[in-house]
Amino acid sequence: MPLIKYTPEQADILDWFAEPQEIIPEYNGAVLLVEAGAGSGKSFMSYQVVKQENPETCLYTAFNKAIVEEGKARFKGTNVSCRTFHSLAYHYVKPRNKIQELTYADIKEKISYSDKAEILKAINMFFVSASTDMYEYFEEFFKENPKQETLAELSSKYVEKMIEEKISPSFNFLLKYFHLMLVNKEITVNYDIVILDEINDTTSVALEIFKLIKAPKKLGLGETHQAIYDFLNLVNGFEVLDKADTLKLTQSFRCSALIAKNIQRFMKAEVNKDFKFVGTEEPVKNGLSLYCTLTNSKIIQHIADRLTERKGFNLLRNISEIFAYPLAIVSAGRGKKVYQKKYKFLEEEYENYCETKKAKVSFLQHLLEHVDDPETKSAVNLLMTLQRRSINIFDIYNDAKTAEVDATYTIATVFTAKGLEYETVHIADDLNNRIDMIRNNGGIITREDLVAYRCYYVAASRAGTNLHNAIALNTN
């Protein structure tokens, strides 16, 4: 077997592990963070680290279960244990009740849906936070709310019910409980090496657990410019673990030299003047294509187009999840029950609409005026577009479920396609429109604007050889 010729950047990572490193007490080990550009071989390097160090015990983990599953194949035959922190938490907490997410239907007090929604939000935010005091956390969370005392007390009440095993625990409750067990030294968890992948998109509590697990050396992999899951309340470990050593991987082994050059120009000009991204003369040619969108609604629109053309497609998520919100809106707008717990609020919103509706104002228009979030706006606009074309969303859904599967042509959002690679990528118009809107408003101003640019970078960098409709790369 020929010897592997490492790039200077790769060699620096292996040298860091080969040499003695100073322990950072609050991190319970020495920590190296690797800023790995898209397709730069971070998975390859995690394996090379394990191969070089040959640890007796090693934990490989990530927020995303799919990434951990990929790790199991990569580290097969080694001493690496690949598991999510949720799995690790389950092992140590050992819950007796069935795991079940808390929903507004579980809150028995006679309070408004909006108050219940705020309680659920507060509880979940506490579970994924670095906080160890829920009473203090809830008091701060509701400090601007006139019902502060009541909502804080109810939030604490339902967490206490989980602790006392009077109601089922949620997965995030297990994570927080595991965190507190480590903080209170009820347990100790030791490994020779801990590897946290996608450290740019993780939870605050996961970073705390990463710090509290004892290991002489720890490795965090990811890239700040690929941190795109703000809507899930995820945080960027590169910003939090500021005492760690940092190295970079800027050579992409996926993207062609031309694609990488265009991406670099785009990012340097509008996001970070120090951004570096170098392509390869041997880009990925796997025969796969991706139609990459920003929203589920755009996926549905493209599915409709493929159905009309009698062409197959592949999806990365369950089709019922992709169609869930627009179908729930239509059901609620007909006065029918909504079966997805997440969207039960639409029933109450429809009742409000019926009580206050004015002539010529549709339920869809009512939602645009009264439910202010991007998911609602996207789903409603989709339904309005289909109405104008006299297309029934249920017909698309039913036809899509039985459509031909073409494994070579994938339709997915950038959030689902992240981490994957294709020979050809087509950028959907919703991604281009988002960048146009930001530019027309004077450039990056808000955190949401920054994340939109990161999404575009992630989408474009899925491409190995061909990148189509990447208009934003050519107009900056």
Strand-pairing partners, residue 194, are 59, 218
Question: In angstroms, rounded to a whole number, what is the distance separating the alpha carbons of residues 419 and 74?
Answer: 15
Q: Residue 435 half-sphere exposure, CB side, CA atoms within 13 Å?
A: 24
CA-CA-CA-CA dihedral for 151, 157, 158, 160, to nearest 10: 150
pTM value is: 0.86
Give the pLDDT of the chain (476 residues) as one tens digit per residue: 457 889 999 999 999 999 999 999 999 999 999 999 999 999 999 999 999 999 999 999 998 888 899 899 999 999 999 999 999 999 999 999 999 999 888 999 999 878 998 999 999 999 999 999 999 999 999 999 999 999 999 999 999 999 999 999 999 999 999 999 999 999 999 999 999 999 999 999 999 999 999 999 999 999 999 999 887 788 999 999 999 999 999 999 999 999 999 999 999 999 999 999 999 999 999 999 999 999 999 999 999 999 999 999 999 999 999 999 999 999 999 999 998 877 888 998 898 898 876 657 899 999 998 887 788 889 999 999 999 989 999 999 999 999 999 999 999 999 999 989 999 999 999 999 999 999 999 999 999 999 999 999 999 999 999 999 999 998 65
Name the pairing type of β-strands 193-196 and 217-222: parallel
Closest CA to 116 of 104, 102, 106, 105: 104
Q: Which domains does the chain have, with CATH numbers?
A: 8-93+179-249 (3.40.50.300), 104-167 (no CATH), 289-420 (no CATH)
Residue at 329: amino acid letter: I
Closest CA to 159 of 102, 113, 105: 102
Q: Are 434 and 314 contacting, i.e. CB atoms less than 8 angstroms apart?
A: no
**Dihedral over Cα of 239, 240, 242, 244: its sign:** negative
Structure tokens given for 214: 């004892």
Q: Where are the beta strands (DSSP E) in 53-108?
A: 58-61, 80-82
Residue at 133: amino acid letter: D
pLDDT the model gives residue 370:
85
Report the length, in residues, of the chain.
476
As a whole number of angstroms, the longest Cα–Cα distance in the chain is: 76
- Determine the Cα angle at 331 with ends 330 and 334, to 5°: 90
- Describe the chain by its helix, strand, coil percentages, rounded to 5: 50, 15, 35
Neighbours of 195 (CB within 10 A): 27
Structure tokens given for 128: 């994924």
pLDDT the model gives residue 267:
97
Closest CA to 82 of 43, 37, 53: 43
3-state secondary structure of 263: helix
Phi, psi torsion values for 280, nearest 5 degrees: -130, 155
pLDDT the model gives residue 465:
98
3-state secondary structure 373-396: CHHHHHHHHHHHHHHHCCCCHHHH
Question: In angstroms, rounded to a whole number, what is the distance separating the alpha carbons of residues 345 and 113?
Answer: 7
3-state secondary structure of 412: strand
Q: Are 252 and 44 contacting, i.e. CB atoms less than 8 angstroms apart?
A: no
Q: Is 110 left (phi over 0), alpha (psi -120 to 50) or beta?
A: beta
